[in-house]
């Protein structure tokens, strides 16, 4: 009973500290997914409408960032490339950058699939009305592709959220880093890591729930989003 009491006391004392870390975790997810969306959109458009060499570059990018482990990429950029080029940025910014680059590889394929699911006649009809290819892509194709991509973003959100835990290796004080910090001093490893896991589960549920609501509101009649 004493051990249980000590565990509960450790959780109670550490919870505000861990919840503050969840704000850092959410910040990592939001900024990484936003960066991934911007880069991923460019990659998807390049892969669908670009020249042969552009498509090859995109394929190499996707292959690289989907194939190399996250921890390796964090070290490669933060301790390698950023140091080599004397780029002085925080561990948080470096983590957002790397997570965003990885997310871009996955988001590009989500958007690519959404673009290819649209009828080809839309582009032809828009061109026949005098619109340029760029105008067609920006005003007609991408708005629909974004709406069709929402279910895929629910998956991506969960993946990026879990990946943020690895950023503690750079010293980012997110949920996992804070749980480890407290556990190493109180020796209450099980309850604290369990609490961190519960926080991640709650964040996953809230994020995917919000994206499902968005999905219902932006659903395009006649298209199967699931």
- Domain assignment of residue 37, given as a range: 2-218
Contact 59, 48 (CB under 8 A): no
Q: Is residue 139 part of a domain?
A: yes
Question: Mean pLDDT over all residues of the chain?
Answer: 91
List the single range of 9-18, 25-34, 68-77 with lowest mean pLDDT.
Answer: 9-18
Ramachandran assignment for 223, one of left (phi > 0), alpha (psi -120 to 50 degrees), beta (any other): beta
pLDDT > 70? residue 138: yes
**Separation of alpha carbons 112 and 116, rounded Å:** 6
Portion of the chain with pLDDT greater than 70, in percent: 96
Q: Is residue 164 part of a domain?
A: yes
How many domains does the structure of the chain reveal? 1
CATH, residue 73 = 1.10.3720.10
Q: Is residue 205 part of a domain?
A: yes
**Separation of alpha carbons 210 and 61, rounded Å:** 30
Contact 11, 191 (CB under 8 A): yes
Q: Is residue 224 part of a domain?
A: no
Distance of CA 100 to the CA centre of its chain: 6
Residue-level pLDDT at 58: 97
Residue-level pLDDT at 153: 92
pLDDT > 70? residue 25: yes
Q: Is residue 62 part of a domain?
A: yes
Task: Give per-residue pLDDT as tens, 66-110.
Answer: 999 999 999 999 999 999 999 999 999 999 999 999 999 999 999
**Separation of alpha carbons 14 and 77, rounded Å:** 32
Count, residues in the chain: 226
Q: Is residue 115 part of a domain?
A: yes
Q: Is residue 169 part of a domain?
A: yes
> What secondary structure letter does DSSP report for 165?
G
Q: Is residue 226 part of a domain?
A: no
């Amino acid at each position: 009973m004493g051990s249980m009491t000590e565990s509960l006391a450790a959780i109670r004392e550490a919870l505000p500290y861990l919840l503050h870390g969840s704000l850092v975790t959410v910040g990592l997810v939001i900024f990484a997914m936003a960066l991934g969306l911007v880069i991923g959109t460019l990659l998807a458009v390049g892969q669908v409408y670009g020249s042969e060499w552009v498509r090859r570059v995109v394929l190499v990018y996707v292959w690289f960032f989907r194939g190399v482990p996250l921890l390796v990429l964090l070290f490669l950029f933060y301790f390698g490339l950023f140091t080599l080029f004397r780029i002085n940025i925080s561990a948080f910014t470096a983590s957002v950058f790397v997570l965003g680059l990885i997310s871009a590889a996955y988001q590009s394929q989500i958007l690519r699939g959404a673009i290819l699911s649209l009828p080809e006649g839309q582009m032809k009809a828009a061109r026949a009305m005098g619109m340029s290819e760029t105008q067609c892509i920006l005003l007609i194709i991408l708005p629909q592709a974004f709406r069709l991509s929402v279910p895929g973003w629910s998956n991506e959100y969960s993946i990026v959220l879990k990946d943020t835990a690895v950023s503690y290796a750079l010293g980012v004080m997110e949920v996992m880093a804070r749980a480890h910090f407290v556990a190493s001093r109180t020796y209450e490893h099980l309850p604290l890591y369990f609490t961190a896991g519960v926080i991640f589960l709650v964040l996953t549920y809230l994020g995917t729930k919000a994206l499902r609501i968005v999905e219902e509101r932006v659903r395009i009649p006649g298209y199967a989003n699931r």
